[in-house]
Amino acid sequence: MFLGRAKEYPVDQMIDVASGRTRADLVLKNASVVNVFNGEIESGDVAIHQGFVAGVGEYVGKIVYDLEGKYIAPAFIDGHVHVESSLVMPIQYARAVVPHGTSAVVADPHEIANVLGMEGIMYMSKSMRGGPLDFYIMLPSCVPSTDLETNGVTLDFLDIKPLMTEDYVLGLAEAMNYRGVIFRDPEILSKIKIALSMGKRIDGHAPGLSGNDLMAYAAARITSEHEATTLEEAKEKLSAGMHIHIREGSTAKNLTSLADLITPSTDLFCSFVTDDRNTLDLISKGHIDSMVRTAIELGVDPISAIRVASYSTARHYGLQYIGAVAPGFHADVVVLDSLENIGVEMVFKEGTLVAKNGELVQEFGVEQQPQLRRSVNIHWLEPEDLQIKARGEQMNVIGHIPDQIVTDHLVEEVHEQDGFAIPDMDEDIAKVAIIERHNATIPRGIGFVKGFGLKEGAMVSSIAHDSHNIVVVGTNDHDMIEAAVQIVRMQGGLSVVADGKVLSSLPLPIAGLMSDKPVEEVSKKLIELREKAAHIGCSLEEPFMAMAFLSLPVIPHLKITDKGLVDVEKFRIIDLFDTADYQ
C-alpha cells in the first residue's frame, strides 16, 4: 500500500465472487452506495475480495458488516499537497489523514527539494512506504522557483529524469515559473518535454494568468491549476482545458469562492486539494472530508462533491480502478453517517478496516529520524544588521490579506526614530526579515508588513516558501535576532520571543521543515504557539503559515526574499523607499 498499485488482480476469483458462485472475503451489507458514475444512490451489499470490489447487489461473505443503510462512498484523494507543510513526517501525516477517509494523496516534495535537493526527494520517497495511505509523487519543476531568492540546491532536468520513469511518479509538479513557460525558458521547457515524452501529467501554478498568456501556458500541455482564487478566473482556466484544483489550506482558502464552479457538467474536471495544511488543522478540522462537507453546505450536490473528492482526481491523473465503488476497483471505501454531515465512521483500505470513528484501528509504526545533512547555517547577526536607514517619507509595505497567500502592495508613511525606519504598532506595521540559512551567506532582505497585529516581541520560522530561508516578523530588532538564534539552536522550527525570552518553540530538525515527533505532540505544540503569538498581539489564526508565504515570489503582489522586496508583477527586486511607481 505505497506509491502506486503493483498488486496482481485475481481476475478468475473476482468473476466467481461477482457472479455469486463464491463467497466474498468481506461483505458490507445493507448499504446505501454512492455511485460516482450515474450520480445515484444504490441500495445493496458491497462484496470485497482480495482487496478489490467484486460487485454491488446481494452477496454472502466470510466476514459481514451490517451497515443498516449507512452510506458507502469511495475513499478520498488529495489532488495536490506538500506533505512537508503538515510539519510531520509522512508516516505521521498518514496517521492524521486516514481516519478522515483519505486513502491517497498526490504529493509534491517541492519544499524539501528546495532545501536538500535529490537527498530530500529520496528521503520523502522512502518515508512514504508503509501504512494505509498511497502516496503518488509529482516531481518538483522549479528548484529554485526563481532567481530572486537563495535556496539550498538547484535541480535541472537531468536530475529529475531518472525518477520520471517510476510508476508512482505521475508527472511534473506545479510549473510555477509561468513566465518561463510563456517565454520558452529552456530549463523549464526541458522538464516539460521529458514529462510529455513519458506520457506524464504536468501540474500548473499560474495565479491571475489570462488571455493569450493563459493560452500559451495551456498550450504547453499544463493541464491543472490550483491558484485560481475567483470564480471568473477558474472558469477561464477550465475553458482552456485545465483541471481545476480547488484549494482549502491552512492559509489559502478558495472553496467558498469556487464552490459554484462544481456542477454536474464540470465536476469531473475539478478536484479538492489542501496544498498546505498543518497538523493541527488536519486533526481538528479534517482533511478532504472537511472540503466535501463545506461544499455541500455551500449548495454543491453531495454526489458531485464526493465525485470531486475521489473519482475526478483519479481520472485526471490516470489512476485506474481507484476512486469508485464498482466491480474491479480497489476496495478503498469510507462509511459515512449521512450525505449532509459526511461523518467518516469507518475507513477500509483494500478491504481492510483501518480506521473507525476517527481513530486508527491499529498503529503502523513510527519512523526513526533520518540522517540528513545540516540545513540551518546562518551568518552571524547583530541587532544592528536589521536596522534600516530612512531614505524618504514613504515606503513599500507588504499588506497581509486574510485567508489568502496573495498580498497587497501598500505605500505607507515611514515611522522614523534616530534616522532609522522602525515598526509602527499604532498602524499595525511590523518589521519582516528574510535571513539566508542554507550557506551562511550574508544576503538578507528587510522590510515591513502590515496586518499581523503584533504589539511586542517577534515570531520566527524556518519555513518560508519556496526556498525556506528564515522568516522573522517582529516589533524590535533585539527580539528578532533572538528569534533567529533560536532557529539555529533547534536546527529549524517555529518560535515566539518577547523581551529576549523564548515563550514557545517547536523544533523542526528534518530539513527545518518537519518534526520527528508524533502528530499528537506537534498538534499540541502548535496550539501553544498560537496562544503565545496571540499573547504578543498577533491577530491571525494561522500566523506561521501566513509568515511562510510572505517570501513566495511567484504569488502577487509584493513579497520579500533574502535578496529584498519583490514586485511580483514586474518580476524584479525593488527598493524599500522607491514608491514612485506605486502611488
Query: For residue 4, is pLDDT > 50?
Result: no
Q: Is residue 477 situated within a structural domain? A: yes
Give the mean model confidence (pLDDT) for residues 391-404. Answer: 95
Q: Is 173 inside any structural domain? A: yes
Same domain, yes or no, for 289 and 428?
A: no
Are both 315 and 422 inside the same structural domain?
no
**Across 93-97, 204-208, 326-330, 364-368, least confident range:** 364-368
CATH code assigned at 146: 3.20.20.140
| pLDDT value for 403 | 86
Looking at the fold, whether 299 and 428 belong to one and the same domain comes out as: no
Q: Give the residue numbers spanning the domain of 555.
A: 383-582
Whether residue 296 sits in one domain with residue 422: no
Query: What number of H helices and E strands is found in the chain?
Result: 17, 30
Same domain membership, residue 158 and residue 298: yes
**Judging by beta carbons within 10 Å of its beta carbon (0-12, 13-18, 19+), is residue 556 exposed, middle or buried?**
middle
Tell me what pLDDT residue 5 has: 54
Q: Which three cell numbers stand for residue 97?
A: 489523514
Taking residues 317-339, what's their average pLDDT? 97
pLDDT on residue 535? 98
Over residues 345-383, the pLDDT tens digits come to 999 999 999 999 999 998 776 566 677 888 999 888 888
State the average pLDDT over residues 169-190.
95
Examine the domain organization and report whether 270 and 407 are in the same domain.
no
Asked, for residue 43, whether it belongs to a domain, the answer is: no
**Average pLDDT value over all residues in the chain:** 95
Query: Strand, coil or helix: what is 392?
Result: coil
Residue 351 resides in a domain: no
State the CB neighbour count (10 A cutoff) for residue 387: 15
pLDDT in tens, 108-151: 999 999 999 999 999 998 888 878 999 999 999 999 988 899 99
Selection from 444, 430, 442 nearest residue 547 by Cα: 430
338 class by beta-carbon count within 10 Å (0-12 exposed, 13-18 middle, 19+ buried):
exposed
Q: How confident is the model over 160-170, as a mean pLDDT?
A: 94
As a whole number, mean pLDDT of residues 203-211 equals 96
Say what the pLDDT of residue 2 is.
41
393 pLDDT band, cuts 50/70/90, is very high
The answer on pLDDT for 7 being more than 80 is no
Residues 428 and 538 in one domain: yes
The last residue of a domain, from among 320, 355, 374: 320
CA distance 330 to 324: 8
Q: Residue 224: what pLDDT?
A: 98
Q: What is the pLDDT of residue 470?
A: 97
Domain shared by 275 and 420, yes or no: no
Distance CA 333, CA 311 (A): 12
Instruction: Quote the CA–CA distance of 526 and 503 in Å, as a whole number.
Output: 13
Does residue 19 fall inside a structural domain? no
Mean pLDDT is lowest, of 156-165, 325-334, 497-506, for 156-165
Sheet holding 134-139, edge to edge: 76-81, 102-107, 134-139, 169-175, 201-204
Can you tell me the mean pLDDT for 391-405? Answer: 94
Q: Over pLDDT 70: what percentage of the chain?
A: 98
Lowest mean pLDDT among 166-180, 202-216, 305-319, 375-389: 375-389
pLDDT at 369: 64
3 pLDDT more than 50: no
Same-domain pairing of 290 and 439:
no
481-493 average pLDDT score? 96
Q: Where does a domain end: 280, 301, 320?
A: 320
Whether residue 393 is found in the same domain as residue 309: no
By three-state DSSP, how is residue 12 classified?
helix
Asked whether residue 21 is domain-assigned, the answer is no
C-beta neighbour count of 396 within 10 angstroms: 22
Q: What percent of the chain has pLDDT over 90?
A: 90
**Which one has a higher pLDDT value, 225 or 6?**
225
Q: Which residues lie across from 532 on neighbouring strands?
A: none
Residue 409 falls within a domain, yes or no? yes
Domain for residue 341, yes or no? no
Q: For the chain, what is the domain count?
A: 2
Among 270, 294, 320, where does a domain finish? Answer: 320
